[in-house]
Amino acid sequence: MKVLFIHNSYSDKTPSGEEHASRELATLLEEHGHEIRWFKRSSDEIRSGFGPLKSFFTGIYNPSSARKLAKVLDEYKPDIVQVQNLYPLLSSSIFRPIKKRGIPVAMRCPNYRLFCPAGLCLNAKGKVCEKCFGGKEWHCITSNCEQSILKSTGYALRNAYSRASHNIINGVDRYIVQSEFQKQKFIEQGIPSEKLVILPGICPEIIVTKRYL
């Protein structure tokens, strides 16, 4: 099976947990005989200059990423697409060319970014917060969850657009979550239970050494 992995990495220099998890999943699939190809962007591209301002708009909708992806889809012809992180350089625009070609999509959701612009359901003070649930993304701005009004506004707008346009809800066939608790939260926010599958986080095999004093 040919699998196209789509991911906006936070940094290629200092990989996050999402990068490690997606790579481990891709490696696992390769070990079972599947062919893997990546369509990636990195947030390293927007660290300086007008990058932060650019990301404000590309996070909401990036037609350039959609056009580039369309070319890859026609060239590679994947059997399935796996989506990881969309923001800030891919955006929900990428689902349209995939859907147009009738390719099934699985989206791995290691956090709550579909409903919480900041992703972790924590406010600026580190307290549990679900105020943005139910299409109330403006709370991310009023609470300044990212401790930057520009950033908080951008996060809120890109979530609001993705929800209002139905790009994600119509473009994804299966959502991969990590626990029963997370699954229930997704169901509460309108994701059909039959579209949800649980796959706990994957980590590489490690050797643990115990020191006895």
Q: What mean pLDDT is reported for the chain?
A: 92
Q: Is the dihedral of CA 89, 93, 98, 101 positive or negative?
A: negative
pLDDT at 165: 96
pLDDT at 207: 41
Q: Quickly tell me which residue has 């959609």 as its tokens.
A: 66
What is the three-class DSSP state of 113?
A: coil
pLDDT of res. 152: 96
Type of residue at 203: C
Q: Across 7-16, 49-58, 156-165, which has the greatest mean pLDDT?
A: 156-165
Q: Is the pLDDT score of 153 beyond 50?
A: yes
pTM of the complete model = 0.89
Question: Mind listing the pLDDT tens digit for each residue in 114-148?
Answer: 999 999 999 888 899 999 999 999 999 999 999 99
157 — phi, psi (to 5°)? -65, -40
Query: Residue 212's pLDDT band (boundaries 50, 70, 90)?
Result: very low
The pLDDT of 31-53, averaged and rounded, is 92
- The domains located in the chain, with CATH, are 2-108 (3.40.50.2000)
**pLDDT score for 39:** 98
pLDDT band at 203 (very low <50, low <70, confident <90, very high): low
